[in-house]
Amino acid sequence: MRCQRALPFCFAVVAFCLSAAAQAPRDTLREPADYRSAHVLLHTDLAPDDARALLARFETILGLIAKYWGQPLAGELECYVVDQLDAWPAGVLSPLGRAKIANRSGVTTTQTISNRGRFIRGKSIVYATARDSTPQHEIVHAYCGQTFGGTGPLWYSEGMAELGQFWQEGQRGVQVKQHMVDYLHSLAALSAQEIVADDAADGEAKAGAQTGDSWQAYARRWALCHLLVNNENYAGRFRALGLNYLSGAKPRFEQVFAGQLDEIDFELREFTAHVEQGYRADLCRWDWQRKFQDAAKTQTSARILAQRGWQPSGAILKEGQQYAYAASGTWRSAADAEATKADGDFRGQGRLEGVVLSDFQLSEPFPLGENGTFTAPEDGRLYLRCRDDWNALADNSGFVNVKIRGAKGAKSRPELPAPADAR
């Protein structure tokens, strides 16, 4: 049996981030023309230089997402990218495409041919306004539809399209529209299962009206996808889950990540709290494997890298108890910064700081330094880091070795320097 079906995917309207310059209508309309690159046939009324730049961007995105999903694009993608809708004669654009573009949005339609439920091939066509990275978002849908025959459930489909449109070779830092970052900071809590459950019942992304939901929903989906793609704790499993989605299977997120859901939610909260342009989810990954011991009984030690986020000290603390610590070594909190000890510089950059994790909640961070004592603010596990802006870790270097033990018995442990003066 052969069947054909059309799967339209679309992009939410984000009206307020368009620049005024981009919106200013031209006096004259430019006749649409065809441009071609290795994988894309582009019909557009953009200026020739802009059309060629867009094709180059398409090729970069397609190369990177094909590498991520491990499947080269099948065939050529066809894209209608519209600058001025009035330049397009009636009948050239599909009615759905024209309606989406009039709404300053986009849509990708995919026709698939399958045999006994098995995907044979697909043909995706993109219709998109030239504005606001909409074509780059849609090209990710088009690759998925044409290569795999599907794009997965709505949250995955849209989250990955938001992610893929910004991908650049060798760039692992966050690059996203700033209003999405600001919105994520405003969220008190975000749970992976809530994001997934938003549309898990659908199984597959639906047409038009269903996907015209808020840009805030797109931001939440992007955040979850960005974290799971870039954080090694979850990346392998997430990629396998995605390939299952794309091939039309319906694995359950909660089952695939059973036993890790609390960790994902915790890391997602940390991500939304600290994300900025350039933030590196890979460097801020939490190490959940480290064994911890009661620091009052056993001295613990850890190597803390300047380039990473919070790292396990190995020390379990008791609220109100005093602990002594000493950090040896030097690190830099920027490529061109002076190397400092764990006291950091005069601004506090590069200073060793601590935080206590208990039941997936963090205490307020507190400053440490090269050596001294501190009082545990609560029961829990001590994590340490080199203080720096959260989106500026990548150019840090060096590490310090930190030892921690209960403050009583300091005299019997000469390997720790005496606590420093009060700071």
Residues at the contact surface with Zn ion, assessed by CB under 5 A: 11, 158, 161
Please give the backbone phi and psi of residue 305, each rounded to the nearest 5 degrees, phi first: -90, 140
For Zn ion, the closer CB: 160 or 326: 160
Q: For the chain, give me the number of helices (H) and strands (E)?
A: 12, 17
State in angstroms the smallest separation of the CB of 6 from Zn ion. Answer: 15
From CA 356, how far away is CA 362, in angstroms rounded?
Answer: 6
- As a whole number of angstroms, the distance between CA 409 and CA 423 comes to 22
Which residue shows structure tokens 């060793």?
352
| Between 161 and 316, CB nearer to Zn ion | 161
Any idea of the CA torsion for 149, 154, 156, 160, to the nearest 10 degrees? Answer: 80
Tell me the residue nearest to Zn ion as measured from the CB.
Answer: 11
- The least CB distance from residue 288 to Zn ion, in Å, is 33
Q: Beta-carbon neighbour count of residue 3 at 10 Å?
A: 10
> What is the sign of the dihedral through the CA atoms of 172, 175, 180 and 186?
positive
- Asked if 316 and 294 touch (Cβ cutoff 8 Å), the reply is yes
Give 83 or 158: the residue with its C-beta nearer to Zn ion: 158
By beta-carbon proximity to Zn ion, the closer residue of 162 and 270 is: 162
CA 84 vs CA 40, 53, 102, 215, 244: distances in Å: 21, 18, 10, 24, 39
Comparison of 166 and 257: residue with beta carbon closer to Zn ion? 166
- Least separation in angstroms between CB 66 and Zn ion: 18
Of 175 and 397, the one with the shorter C-beta distance to Zn ion is: 175
Residue 317, number of CB atoms within 10 A of its CB: 27
Q: How far is the CA of 244 from the CAs of 150, 201, 207, 272, 293, in angstroms?
A: 10, 16, 21, 27, 40
The minimum distance between CB 141 and Zn ion, in angstroms, equals 5
Nearest distance, CB of residue 200 and Zn ion, angstroms: 17
- Residue 109: its H or E element: strand 106-115
Largest CA distance in the chain: 88
Q: Please say which residue, 126 or 241, places its beta carbon nearer to Zn ion.
A: 126
Shorter beta-carbon distance to Zn ion: residue 11 or 69? 11
Q: Which two tokens stand for residue 284?
A: 């801020």
Give every CB contact of residue 19 below 8 A, 6+ residues apart in sequence: none
Backbone angles phi, psi at 357, to 5 degrees: -105, 125
Cα distance between the two ends of the chain: 77
In whole angstroms, the minimum distance from the beta carbon of 47 to Zn ion comes to 26
In the bound complex, what is the minimum distance in angstroms from residue 137's beta carbon to Zn ion? 6
Q: Minimum distance from CB of 209 to Zn ion (Å)? A: 14
DSSP classification of residue 75:
S
Nearer Cβ to Zn ion, position 98 or 385? 98
CB of residue 218 vs Zn ion: minimum separation in angstroms? 8
Instruction: Give the H or E element holding residue 224.
Output: helix 215-230
106-115 and 352-358 beta bridge pairing? unpaired
Q: Which is nearer to Zn ion, 128 or 384 (CB)?
A: 128
Nearest distance in Å: CB 365, Zn ion: 38
